[in-house]
Chains A and B, each alone.
Chain A
Amino acid sequence: MNPLVELNSKKMARKDVTEVEVGDHLKVWTIISEGDKERLQPFEGDVIRIHRNGISTTFTLRKISYGVGVERIVPLYSPYLARVEVLRKGRIRRARLYYLRSLAGKNAKIQEKRFN
């Protein structure tokens, strides 16, 4: 990519982003505007993928909701992203945790990263 294009997208990106890693268990609040009212909608899940591409960087959150797997792709630099909270760091061995999709229950759990 042209360096100027890259520079430009870097300049326009918001600076207050939370650092996110694959395997993290996150809670994110997105701003939902209904008519003229705004509210925050939380979503809690594991990061199974980070797609790094400058200002277009996104991460995918996966959770099991009422027994159904739900995935949500969140743009990291979106102005609609109100808050990101890292609840747990995960011990993982891959960059993309797609294998979680074929697992259920206890098998689909990501081991917590312990810091000594």
Chain B
Amino acid sequence: MSVGILGKKLGMTQMFDNRGSMVAVTVVQAGPCPVVQKKTHEKDGYTAIQIGFEDAGRQKAALKPYKGHFKSSGLKPQRVLKEIRYNDVSAFSIGQSITVGEFKPADKVVITGVSKGRGFQGVIRRHGFAGKDTGHGTHEAFRTGGSIGMRTPKHTRKNMKMAGHMGARKITTRNLKVMFVDTENNLLLIKGAIPGANNDVVFIRKA
């Protein structure tokens, strides 16, 4: 897997690209992410690095097992942890920081985050159903889904689209373009929208 970093979605704004056209961008404060742990074949059966993001502060630091995890590395407890699989982890050392400097403009990235929760939604909003005609005798059923099956097989088929909880699930958006890298403030400017609400944690890796 390629370079990955954890970040916080700060919000959206606009900027001029190198052709002078205005583009919408999302500002992400990413890293610096310290390498907290290295998973090895001998010990764990697979190889990966574990990176952290943001100091946990007092609340979580108070939990003893959590504290112990960071003890050997000498790092402050981190709020978010994420493992990245690598075939070879020898290039990394514990305590080393991954920063936005790993990215450069025009890089393609893949961003994973948790989408905004929408609560319990009907079929029109959740699945894009068309709804019913509001005239021609329709009554009390303008936004229903309609039939959910046939006479046979006498039960509702699996994965039938119905009303239910929408959003707040893991979403990965691919092929996003890095527009600008601000190493001073640890900012990445990504073209277009990314999953999640402002201040949500997102995972960014090179495509």
Contact present for A55 and B10 (CB under 8 Å) = no
Q: Is the interface of B mostly helix, strand, loop or mixed?
A: strand
B204 part of interface (Cβ distance < 8 Å): no
Contacts of B13 in A (CB 8 A): 1, 5-6, 8-9, 54-56
Partner of B10 from the list A4, A11, A78 (CB cut-off 8 Å) is: A4
Min CB–CB distance B180 → chain A (angstroms): 7
Partner of B27 from the list A2, A78, A80 (CB cut-off 8 Å) is: A2
Contact present for B11 and A5 (CB under 8 Å) = yes
Smallest Cβ-Cβ distance to A9: which chain B residue: B13
Contacts of B16 in A (CB 8 A): 12, 55, 77-79
Contacts of B27 in A (CB 8 A): 2, 4-5, 8
A90 part of interface (Cβ distance < 8 Å): no
Smallest Cβ-Cβ distance to A77: which chain B residue: B16
Q: Interface 1/0s, chain A 66-86, versus B by CB < 8 A?
A: 000000000101111000000
Smallest Cβ-Cβ distance to A6: which chain B residue: B13
Q: Interface 1/0s, chain B 5-26, versus A by CB < 8 A?
A: 0000011111110001010000
Contact present for B14 and A5 (CB under 8 Å) = no
Bound together, the chains give a CA A33 to CA B22 distance in angstroms of: 16
* A: interface residue count bin: 10 to 19
Contact present for B22 and A75 (CB under 8 Å) = yes
Contact present for B20 and A12 (CB under 8 Å) = no
B36 part of interface (Cβ distance < 8 Å): no
Contacts of A31 in B (CB 8 A): 20
Contact present for B10 and A2 (CB under 8 Å) = yes
A103 part of interface (Cβ distance < 8 Å): no
B35 part of interface (Cβ distance < 8 Å): no
Since A9-B13, A56-B13, A78-B16 are in contact, a sample of 20 more A-B pairs with Cβ atoms closer than 8 Å, ordered by chain A residue number, is A4-B27, A4-B185, A5-B10, A5-B11, A5-B27, A7-B185, A8-B13, A8-B185, A8-B187, A9-B14, A9-B15, A11-B182, A12-B15, A12-B16, A12-B180, A55-B13, A55-B16, A56-B14, A79-B16, A79-B20
20 A-B contacts (beta carbon < 8 Å): A1-B13, A2-B10, A2-B11, A2-B27, A4-B27, A4-B185, A5-B12, A5-B13, A8-B13, A8-B182, A8-B185, A8-B187, A9-B15, A31-B20, A54-B13, A55-B16, A56-B13, A56-B22, A75-B22, A79-B20
